[in-house]
Structure 1
Amino acid sequence: MIESFLSAVALAECDEMGHMNIQHYAGKAEAAAHVLAALGGPTARGYAQPDQMHLRFHREMLAGDRVRVMSARCDLEDGPARRPRLVHRIENVGTGLLCATAVTSYGDDAAPRAPDGALPDEAAPRSLTAPAPSGLTREEAGAAHLQRTHLSAIAAADCHADAMTIPAFLQRVSRCQSHLWSLVGFGRRQQAEAGLGTATLELRVTRLAPAPPGRALEILTGFTPPTGKALHYRHFGFDAMTGALCFIAEGVGVMMDLSTRRAVVPPIPDTQFA
């Protein structure tokens, strides 16, 4: 692997629990890919956005923690073809421990250059192993009782080459989570009063359409009631003007007791939202 990014966690990158937010793990993986593209030199192909990013979270990062990304290329064998893929290890420099992994998949051999490597066990999908759904329409989402949790305009700063980036989409998904918990009847205020918080364990984002600047993005959210401690949810990002499905974010998380830092069975009341 090669060092592809070195920085520190800013206070503005942290959530209400003081942890670096999910979109910034994705942002650091994308920053590492930009560095790899730049290190490829003037003859390398320009940076291209990944089609999919799969994140696994292992340890929390706090404001002021020093962060390093180590990267390698580990193409996926897809029948007779090979799908370009990068793996990024997001590490805490101070402790030397792995905090997250990001595996990014590309099309048309567009992945930046990096040393060859194998996909480590800690980066392999654990719960999100089935193919991402891709054919959902806005009407089908409404019929399935998915609820609107976000609506905003897409700015040029959200995009690369006139297409919204994965970190920009996850910034919106992060805001959707407050709506999600309110919809299931146990919002952020109730969680705080009970001394509880939430943590994402695994997240997969799939890009399906460009979502260019000047358009509006609408996110509809679905939730699977937990059978144990794990919480499963999906956020579908639609172009509010055309109805095209642009992004899907699938997440697995837990609710935790903030005093013991242990996962608990979420005290979620019965709900019609699913």
Structure 2
Amino acid sequence: MTIQATLFSFVNRWECDENDHLNVQFYFSRFEEADRQFRLMTGLSETVVGARRVRHVRYHKEMRTGDLITVHSSIAFDGPHMLTVIHEMRDAATGTLSATALDGYEPSASAAKTLRQRFRDFQTPMIAEAGPRGISAGPANARATLAALQSKGAQIVYRGTVLPRDIGPDGKADDRFALSCCTDGVAHVWQRTPMTHAYLTENGFGRVAVEMKLTWITPLKTGDAMLVVSGFTGVNPKTFSMRHHLFETRTNRLAAVLDVVALTMDLTRRVAVEQPDEAYQSINKMLID
């Protein structure tokens, strides 16, 4: 059983956001590159295991400007999917686990024994830190429609166009593009609550994601116009969850869904803070689930 070194990288200042840490789109881009390298090393492909159903990311510790990044990858047959690829991102200077990604595949049950044998040199046990916590492991609902979401109170928070720079080696818009659309739009979701831009600025707070799950439904390609429609799906004293839906706008075709668990962070102490009561009550009234 071996774990493979699949990425060596570095946090650039231009990749950090208003909270002075690595923006989530660049965590996803690092995992995407690590996955490409892992596939090359192992022979893992859609022909063998089918298409990836989800990428489920948990953020454990902030990565900040100048931090060294490594990713190590392996296959777990005891994970939440029939076949789970685990990517472990660490601070190379300290060894601290910074983030984890679970890539979920569902090959046929009859192929399990063959796959275990085929990938025996790349297997490791599932690590507890990577397990889903605030978001279920399975793919998001692929039947959501724009009209139905808006009737429940979800709102459009982003519009854009897929450009050549957004396309991966497979000719489709990549994970980083999907995340960038959602992170540009998410401030407009927060603005619907008492935790507005003015409130956050006045208190020295920031918007932080702690867990995400990306489900691609259909591909986006160069020239496609798209939008993001978002709404809240749950609320707790310190965290709340939301769901972003990416639609191709010419036909209103659902392309991807991003589930998110978020919190408010004190930017001086770098710790989570409880939401004000009015925010809890406000979000609870806007749930789309």
TM-score by length of 2: 0.84
Question: In the alignment, is the contact (CA less than 8 A) between 2:78 and 2:126 conserved in 1?
Answer: no
**In the alignment, what sits opposite 1:151?**
159
Residues 49 and 38 (structure 1 numbering): CA distance in 2 closer, same or farther, change over 3 Å?
same
Give the aligned partner of residue 211 of structure 2. Answer: 202
Q: Which residue of 2 aligns with 1:72?
A: 74
Equivalent AA in structure 2 for residue 64 of structure 1: G
- Matched residue of 1:205: which SS? strand
1: CA distance, partners of 2:128 / 2:137: 18
Q: Distance in 1 between matches of 2:251 and 2:8?
A: 40
Residue in structure 2 matching 1:266, options 270, 275, 282: 275
Instruction: Identify which of 238, 245, 251 aligns with 1:236.
Output: 245
Instruction: Find the counterpart in structure 2 of residue 123 from structure 1.
Output: 130
Query: What amino acid maps onto 1:20 in structure 2?
Result: L
The yes-or-no answer on 1:216 pairing with 2:225 is yes
Q: What residue is the counterpart of 1:37 in the other structure?
A: 39
Structure 1 equivalent of residue 60 of structure 2: 58
Structure-1 separation of matches of 2:76 and 2:16: 30
- What 5-or-longer segments of structure 2 have no aligned partner? 109-114
When structure 1 is superposed on structure 2, of 178-187 and 213-222 the one drifting more is 178-187
Q: 1:72, CA displacement in angstroms?
A: 0.2
How do 1:95-134 and structure 2 match up within 5 A?
95-106=94-105, 115-129=122-136, 131=138, 132-134=140-142
Structure 1 segments (4+ residues) deviating >6 Å: 46-49
RMSD: 2.6
Bigger fraction of residues in helix: 2
Structure 2 vs 1, CA of residues 45 and 257 (structure 1 numbering), >3 Å: closer, same or farther?
closer
CA positional deviation for 1:12: 1.3
Contact 2:78 2:125 in 1 (8 A): no
Partner in structure 1 of residue 111 of structure 2: none
Instruction: State how far apart, in whole Å, the 2-side matches of 1:52 and 1:96 are.
Output: 27
Secondary structure at the counterpart of residue 163 of structure 1: coil
What is the count of residue pairs matched by the alignment? 268
Counterpart amino acid of residue 185 in structure 2: C
Q: What are the Cα deviations for residues 58-90 of structure 1, in whole angstroms up to 9, with x where unaligned?
A: 000001100000110124688xxx743310000
- 1:49 is displaced (CA, Å) by 6.8
Q: What residue in structure 1 maps to residue 112 of structure 2?
A: none
Distance 2:44 2:257 in 1: 30
Q: What is the percentage of aligned positions where both structures have the same residue?
A: 25
Q: Contact (CA 8 Å) 1:37, 1:46: kept in 2 or not?
A: no
Which of 178, 192, 200 is equivalent to 1:183?
A: 192
